[in-house]
Structure 1
Amino acid sequence: MKILIIEDEQKSALYLKNSLSESGYQVSVSHDGIDGLFMAQSGEFDLLILDVMLPGIDGWKIIERLREHSTIPVLFLTARDGVEDRVKGLELGGDDYLVKPFAYTELLARVRSLLRRPPLRPQDSLSVGDLHIDVLKRRVQRAGQRIELTNKEFALLQLLVQHQGQVLSRSQIASQVWDMNFDSDTNVVDVAIRRLRVKVDDGFEHKLIQTVRGMGYRVEEYSA
């Protein structure tokens, strides 16, 4: 398995490269955002470990550009530890988010989890009420109106609609959308649901995304 690390702090990058190499991975390193993006777009790598603050272009821009054409798993590894930063990284298309300083054993566990995750085989299209999802083209419409979603918003909506009528707990959502264990002190799921509601339900008479108090969330057609 080939891993690309985009990290401008050279000591940290060298530590990661040596440690992951000892764990059996082929590791390449870039210290610059522009060069790192070019390498990541080559299609040669199975996993990207990405810092946020980088010279050239930052990690946010890298994943935005990358997600236009690539589904390579991305693990953010950064000192930016705010909830909004974690939410942003995951919504832009990150698969996991680990804050520095970190334990290498935890990093390795997350790397292994991302690399063994099977590829998704989604349905071609999904619908609930007047909401329609073209899964292959990653397009969402409601009442004929196009809705622009981030990668994580799309994945969240797709999960809810696939299980329409069913209540999904926060831990189920976190596990399937972000491939992470749910921490009761983390409101990543609630923030993502709130943002998704603004795009999917605001301005429409019937609300599709429902909160089931004490249990989680569900999508259901026009229920009171």
Structure 2
Amino acid sequence: MKKILVVDDDPNILQLVKIQLQDAGYVVLQATNGYEALEILANDRPDLAIVDVMMPGMDGFTVTKEFKRTTDIPVLLLTAKGELEDKERGFLAGSDDYVVKPFEPKELLFRIHAILRRYDKAADDLIQAGSLMINRQSYEVSVGYKVLLLPLKEFELLSLLASRPNQVFTRDILLERVWGFDYEGDEQTLNVHIKRIRGKLDQLTKDVVISTVRGVGYKLEVLA
């Protein structure tokens, strides 16, 4: 049974989301602020976190950054703000999705399901995106009978992007997950690896591309 951590300083929202999630079959953990959330995270391992943006002391953007700094738990931001700048801040912090209050409970459940499905896929030994097949056991990338062997970092980077097609990964998240949190290099290393992967993909298939999201990061797209 999947476990979800809900972080919100509004007790009414906490109760509403708890009821909806429990009715959908999830186990619910609750925190009323970012500090409580980090304490829970130190002792437990939720499958997903729903985090309110507008909280006193530690806002949702900071909570998300702290979560992503130490774990790969997906984060869905919940907020009353819908401006593009706030969405951009959320994705830059490492969030996986963004729901604006007031929200329909069904929409929240749909987005939770979609995020969890993407993360479950990331753990698979075989990842398929369009005609591209990635085997995480043999470290092979193939299209039909064409097989591509990539250096380890390029393979890990492509696997991560392909595990969640059309999702934007920030540069910081890509660097942390592929090179590690203690990596002291700069973004140019990431840019060079992306460029190399693009060149190799272009020779292998035309229906999978890595797109740049200006000011944020990269995403892998499957073209129709």
TM-score normalised according to structure 2 size: 0.61
| Sequence identity (%) | 29
- For residues 134 and 63 of structure 1, the distance between their equivalents in structure 2, rounded to whole angstroms, comes to 14
Query: In the alignment, which residue of structure 1 is the partner of 2:186?
Result: 147
1:135 offset after TM fit, Å? 6.1
User: Do the aligned partners of residues 100 and 44 (structure 1) sit closer, same or farther apart at CA in structure 2, a change above 3 Å counting?
Assistant: same
Determine which structure has the larger helix proportion and give its number. Answer: 2
Aligned to 1:126: 154
| 1:19 Cα deviation after fit | 0.9
CA drift at 1:42: 3.2
Measure, in 2, the Cα distance between the counterparts of 1:158 and 1:80.
35
Aligned residues: 166
Tell me the equivalent position of 1:5: 6
* C-alpha deviation, 1:55, in angstroms: 2.6
Structure-2 change in CA distance of 1:85 and 1:19 (3 Å): same
Amino acid in the other structure paired with 1:162: I
Question: Counterparts of 2:96 and 2:46 in 1: how far apart (Å)?
Answer: 15
**Within 2, Cα distance between the matches of 1:158 and 1:17?**
42
**Could you say what the CA RMSD is over the residues aligned between the two structures, in angstroms?**
3.6
Check the 8 A contact 1:60/1:89 in 2, yes or no: yes
How far residue 157 of structure 1 moved from its aligned partner, in angstroms, is 8.7
Would you say 1:86 and 2:125 are equivalent positions? no
Letter of the aligned partner of 1:20 in structure 2?
A: L
Question: Using a 3 Å threshold, how does the CA distance of structure 1 residues 11 and 65 change in structure 2: closer, same or farther?
Answer: same
Cα pair distance change 1:85/1:119, threshold 3 Å:
same
TM-score (norm 1): 0.61
Counterpart of 1:163? 198
Q: Deviations over 1:48-97 (max 9, x none)?
A: 00011113311111111121110001000111211111011112110111
8-17 or 36-45, which deviates more: 36-45
Q: Equivalent residue for 1:213?
A: none
Give 1:158 deviation, angstroms.
6.9
Structure 1 partner of 2:109: 108
Structure 1 residues 137 and 92 mapped into 2: Cα distance closer, same or farther (>3 Å)? same
Deviation of 1:43 (Å):
4.1
Change (3 A) 1:19 1:125: same
Q: Distance in 2 between matches of 1:78 and 1:4?
A: 16
Q: Does 1:65 align with 2:66?
A: yes
1:146, distance to aligned residue in structure 2 (A): 3.2
Q: Is 1:97 the equivalent of 2:102?
A: no
Unaligned stretches of 5+ residues in structure 1: 128-132, 174-188, 198-215, 217-224
Q: Residues 157 and 33 of structure 1: is their aligned pair in 2 closer, same or farther, counting only changes over 3 Å?
A: farther
The residue aligned with 1:205 is: none
